[in-house]
Amino acid sequence: MSAPFAIGTPHHIRLTVTDVERSRAFYTGVLGFDVALDSPPPDDPGGLVADTLQGGVVLVNAGVMVGLRPVDAAHAGDRFDPFRVGLDHVSFSVGSRRDLDTAVGVFDRHGVEHGPIREVPAMGMAFLALFDPDGIAVELTAQL
């Protein structure tokens, strides 16, 4: 069966977080994202950008956008759980296996908990797992 249309790489990811500023600092200071948009522009017809941001921020790194939005007050004490329906983890590509080694040093300097670099030759990849400040599972993945 052929697909009715082609699906490409993800355009953006949006994460709900308990503290936008804390998460912004993590994604910019540790993972190297830049801030793409943190407030609506003066010309925001109909408040579309304000509605989209919902009090959050949009970050970008290597063409991948990550939106961070605050959790609703009713769920303020909630924590990420990869075993519930929804997101299990998010994985970002890095250029090489050597970048994973570099990332270990960066994470250690920032006190970010992470697992070991794991190689999966059958899938042609190596990955490094870590958690963001809300416990959202993140991986960096390199081709072998």
Residue with tokens 């961070």: 68
My answer on whether 28 and 69 are in the same domain is: yes
Residues with Cβ within 8 Å of residue 10, at least 6 apart in sequence: 64
In a domain, 57, yes or no: yes
Q: How far, in Å, CA of 51 to CA of 7, rounded? A: 27
Burial category of 33 from C-beta neighbours within 10 Å (exposed 0-12, middle 13-18, buried 19 and up): buried
In a domain, 94, yes or no: yes
Q: What is the CATH number of the domain that holds 90?
A: 3.10.180.10
- From 73, 94, 112, give the residue that closes a domain: 73
Identify residue 20 by its one-letter amino acid code: V
Q: Which two tokens stand for residue 119?
A: 């190689």
Q: Are 67 and 57 in contact (CB under 8 A)?
A: yes
Predicted local confidence at residue 78, as pLDDT: 86
In a domain, 121, yes or no: yes
Q: What is the pLDDT of residues 22-67, one digit of tens each?
A: 999 999 999 999 999 998 888 887 888 888 889 999 999 999 999 9
Residue 83: pLDDT band (50, 70, 90) is confident
In a domain, 67, yes or no: yes
My answer on whether 105 and 139 are in the same domain is: yes
Predicted local confidence at residue 29, as pLDDT: 97
My answer on whether 87 and 65 are in the same domain is: no
My answer on whether 67 and 93 are in the same domain is: no
How many domains are contained in the chain?
2
Where b means 16+ CB within 10 Å and e means fewer, 72-108 reads eeeeeeeebeeeeeeeeeeebebeeeeebeebbeebe
Domain enclosing residue 15, as ranges = 9-73
C-beta neighbour count of 39 within 10 angstroms = 11
In a domain, 116, yes or no: yes
Of all residues in the chain, the percent with pLDDT exceeding 70 is 99
My answer on whether 88 and 50 are in the same domain is: no
